[in-house]
Structure 1
Amino acid sequence: MPQILEPHPPCIVLGLETQIGLGLVRELGRAGVTVIGIAYDPDAIGLSSRYLARKLVITQPRSPELIAAIVALGEELGPCCLIAVSEVNMGWLAQNRHAFGRVRPVVPTPETLAMVLDKQRTLQAAREVGIAVPETAEPTSMAEAEALAARFHFPAVLKWKDPNAIARKLGQAGLELLKAEYVYTPAEFLAVAARYQPVGEWPMVQAYCPGTGLGQFFYMHKGQAVRRFQHLRVAEWPPEGGFSSVCDAVPLDQHADLQEQSIALLRHIGWEGVAMVEYRWDPATGRTVLMEINGRYWGSFPLAVQCGAGFGVISYALESGLDMPVLPPVRWGQRCRMVSTELKRLVRICLQPGKIVDRTFQVRPLAEVWRFVRDFFRPGVGYYVWNAGDPQPFYTDVKNLLRKVVRR
């Protein structure tokens, strides 16, 4: 891990409730950066990290109280940067970027962020640079949905083009925000489409793409990719596809041409800063298809921290006016796990296979249990939350999980 030499300003991290914010705190703290953490939840796991120099809990998200607290930090500490984790926080910071006094949020422009959050616009940009994308349609009425059902090649996955924007409307209609729904026939699609008729908006319809999640990660600075990293998903939650519960670091000599395409896409949309370009890769055919861009730190970020990728340190240094840090080579062959999510996944696979909505998913309970156990003894395995040098967040996480169980 590179050391940031004195003198240097502190860094504020907003969003300590998940392993992502915790990973940022650990990476920056180990590099010698003074880290101030802000959380909305007093039980946020990141608040327990030994690498926090100071912690604040602001229970009203994205509020005038939070703005005032950030401005006060800037007055006390001097010019410094603020790194946020979630897309919702980033959008709020981008819209209010001039309201924080001497604190500079590390966010893209509102226009660039809006483009990345809109999956349809992202897919169109990908087409323009020659990246394969799934067959995709977006009905705007029930009549269009009925016409689409007659011509689309099912099976398909239904996704909202901007989940953050639709969540409130769905809630007001008493509907759950589902990240992905699988439909296998026109009739199944029309049944789902009818459910959303009271909202007056419908999810994108995307052709099902077999394969495994392949994530490519970049730090873009003045149009150049100054750091690269990539991982392959070993296990996901939910099992049929979602976010990584286990992932492996993949050497950069693999999928090299695809990396260049990803960089071309980020340049095309004018992206600056950290980004994840996510694909579905089918090892049987070698075909890769773009799923989305995440213009933020990603859920499996602890793997990048474990491997020494240094994305948080790069962001801090460049946004603080320091030189590009000299980074050690990335450590490959590493695996990272979120054991609590793995256990939930095993319960679904072994005891509730009927709840797995992707009918093509191969249910192999014995193989899944064996891999789960074997990984505890595999060299080079790290964990999303547990770290022997900073154990308290793990204990806080266990306490929070037990509290949820008792409440249920």
Structure 2
Amino acid sequence: MDGVLIPTGFDPGSYSCVRSLSRRGIRTLVASQYDSVPAAGSRFCDEFVRIPAPNDDLLAYRDALLQLAARKDVTTILPLRPQDTYLFSLYESLFEEHVSLVTPPMETLRTVHDRVLLVEAAESAGVPVPETCLLSDVERVDRKLIVKSRYNLLASEYLDSYSERESATAKAVSHYRPGDEFDRESLTEEMGHDPIVQEYIPSSDEYVFGALYDHGQAVATFQHRQIRGDSYTGGGGVYRKSVDIPELERVGRQILDSIEYHGLACIEYMRHEETDEFVLTEINPRLWQSLPCAVRGGADFPWYYWLLATGQSDMIDPHYEVGVGSHLLYGEFGHLRSVFTDDSPIVSRPSARGAVWEIVQSCYDDPHFDNLRFDDPRPFVRGLGHVLKKGK
């Protein structure tokens, strides 16, 4: 039987991959450094294998993937982790000996991973982006600003200070008001490089544009509005609803068309509350956290990826249902916790009572949950256990 390798940690989207592909008769092989990942607990998971952690030793992780890819029952590998697409692109010749992948070439991936290059590409394509520069080029804080990592993934191809075996992600985002002072040494040390400074975009809403591209041509796209994130200050979506906005479709395709993209892409946009423009903030070249919302709405990207990787793209039906909402339930608890623990000088903190009411009301109105399936409860139980353990 043809099979798919799904390397994952506690990524919310991995369960959607296992469930989707198994129900289509594809053997699912989940691989992780953790024994208790939610996807491996699913009745739709055919096999689980322990592998090294990518953050511990990137080459050992690569070699483990290659060893599994060499199996006769593995046809392709889904990119769920930040390191996956990087390895598939950098070591394309090694992987293509065994499996068929849909991944951008290294030159394109560099543009996507380096937010300075991404801003330049977006500006050339006519796509709105925040004003962006390096921290070392900013003298003072004269308006609302944010500081974040220059790179989507920290690795040796981008930073000389990293060896081939090292990789990391720097997710911290710092907010500043006019008159604040940068702690440059602390920020640079935390990020491991000279980070970027971007203007703060006052937004009415946040959106995701998901896409699968085949050598510069869109095969399937999807949009959702993010109603709540990991934190009240932003972050990955924990409650979202599918939408279909022509202008978002236009700017989403425009940037990917301009760089002749190939593979999966998740683009984050903020809708400027004054200009109504969709402002691009970043691209993740892999399957995304809020993937379950897309799959529930009919945009089955794990299946689309399989079809494209196996030369069956003519079977892809890219249509999806608008107005479908989905919650990452334990992510909602994380959002509520952020009301008490997170702090931002430029994003107003909601009231705890108001946050609780909004979550309860939306769960009642839209009772669809990413990993909570009554015909397959173990993934949700495992995920909840991980969140509770991490919160201790």
Normalization by structure 2: what TM-score? Answer: 0.87
Question: 2:365: which partner in 1?
Answer: 378
- 1:86-128, Cα deviation, whole Å (9 max, x unpaired): 1212212322222244223432212211110011111111111
Structure of greater Rg: 1
Offset at residue 374 of structure 1 (A): 1.6
**Total equivalences in the alignment:** 377
Aligned-residue Cα RMSD (Å) equals 2.7
Question: 2:117: which partner in 1?
Answer: 121
Match of 2:230 among 214, 225, 237: 237
Structure 1 range deviating more: 322-331 or 23-32: 322-331
Letter in 2 for 1:231: H
Distance 2:39 2:319 in 1: 27
Question: 1:47: which partner in 2?
Answer: 40
Offset at residue 284 of structure 1 (A): 5.6
Counting only pairs closer than 5 Å after superposition, residues 285-304 of structure 1 correspond to structure 2 as: 285-304=275-294
Question: 1:158: which partner in 2?
Answer: 147
User: Hey, which bits of structure 1, 4+ residues long, moved more than 6 A?
Assistant: 166-170
Question: 1:390: which partner in 2?
Answer: 376
Question: 1:332: which partner in 2?
Answer: 322
Offset at residue 398 of structure 1 (A): 2.5
Letter in 2 for 1:393: P
Distance 1:288 1:328 in 2: 23
Q: Which runs of 5+ in 2 are unaligned?
A: 163-168
Distance 1:216 1:105 in 2: 22
Q: Does 1:82 align with 2:49?
A: no
Distance 2:177 2:194 in 1: 17
Q: Which runs of 5+ in 1 are unaligned?
A: 1-7, 171-175
Cα 1:325–1:58 shift into 2, 3 Å: same
Distance 1:182 1:65 in 2: 35
Offset at residue 295 of structure 1 (A): 1.2
Q: Does 1:275 align with 2:265?
A: yes
Letter in 1 for 2:108: T
Question: 2:88: which partner in 1?
Answer: 93
Letter in 2 for 1:386: L
Letter in 2 for 1:268: S
Distance 1:198 1:374 in 2: 42
Offset at residue 19 of structure 1 (A): 0.9
Question: 1:132: which partner in 2?
Answer: 128
Cα 1:223–1:328 shift into 2, 3 Å: closer
Counting only pairs closer than 5 Å after superposition, residues 298-317 of structure 1 correspond to structure 2 as: 298-317=288-307
Secondary structure of the residue aligned to 1:52 is coil
Counting only pairs closer than 5 Å after superposition, residues 358-373 of structure 1 correspond to structure 2 as: 358-373=345-360
Letter in 2 for 1:24: C
Question: 1:207: which partner in 2?
Answer: 199
Cα 1:138–1:72 shift into 2, 3 Å: closer
Distance 1:230 1:257 in 2: 11
Question: 1:218: which partner in 2?
Answer: 211
Question: 2:249: which partner in 1?
Answer: 259
User: Does the CA-based 8 Å contact 1:16-1:37 persist in structure 2?
Assistant: no
Letter in 2 for 1:184: R
Distance 1:299 1:245 in 2: 9
Letter in 2 for 1:364: S
Secondary structure of the residue aligned to 2:111 is helix
Structure 1 range deviating more: 55-64 or 241-250: 55-64
